[in-house]
Amino acid sequence: MNSDSDLQIAGDLLEVQHLLRPAREHPSTVAEFVGLARTIAADRSQWAHLVRYDATTRWYHRLRTGPGYEIWLLSWVPGQGSGLHDHGPSSGVLTVLEGELTERTDRGRRTLDAGAQRVFAPGYVHEVANDSLGPAVSLHVYYPGLTDMPMHATQCAAAVAL
């Protein structure tokens, strides 16, 4: 107890609604977008029934939109990849829902297991691929919504080859 104050809160603070800010309907900060992705990831009923696997092309489905943002669900069979690209003016949050993905940049490569998240700024160049032996599912939040995905020549060939 803080001896400098006579203020004490009894009971559950979360029950005192007038002291809490109302929850926003839509995220507006990086932390809120990360939190939204985590919330969706934790609730399989929002996405698991939508997942499809396609051996000929990467499958994707726009899961949700909001003011200025969109959320995509992607599946990856072994060997599928995005190619080296950026997201134009969009920032993003990549969350691996199931399986394992590999992210390659000019700084090297990183294995992303289920639950891993990557936050990236506009112009961030990377390649994402399923180098594992099993399928993978990922969630992608873009703000603003994805309007451009420029492909890049393999400028980071050393990192891609790792």
Domain of 140 in residue numbering reads as 23-161
Report whether 52 contacts 75 (CB < 8 A).
Answer: yes
| Cβ-based burial of 102 (10 A; exposed 0-12, middle 13-18, buried ≥19) | middle
Query: Is 83 inside any structural domain?
Result: yes
Model-wide pTM > 0.75:
yes
Query: Is 6 inside any structural domain?
Result: no
Write the pLDDT tens digit of every residue in 69-111. 999 999 999 999 999 999 999 999 999 999 999 999 999 999 9
Tally of domains in the chain: 1
Query: Is 16 inside any structural domain?
Result: no
Write the pLDDT tens digit of every residue in 84-93. 999 999 999 9
Query: Is 4 inside any structural domain?
Result: no
Query: Is 10 inside any structural domain?
Result: no
Query: Is 11 inside any structural domain?
Result: no
| Cβ-based burial of 155 (10 A; exposed 0-12, middle 13-18, buried ≥19) | exposed
CATH code assigned at 87:
2.60.120.10
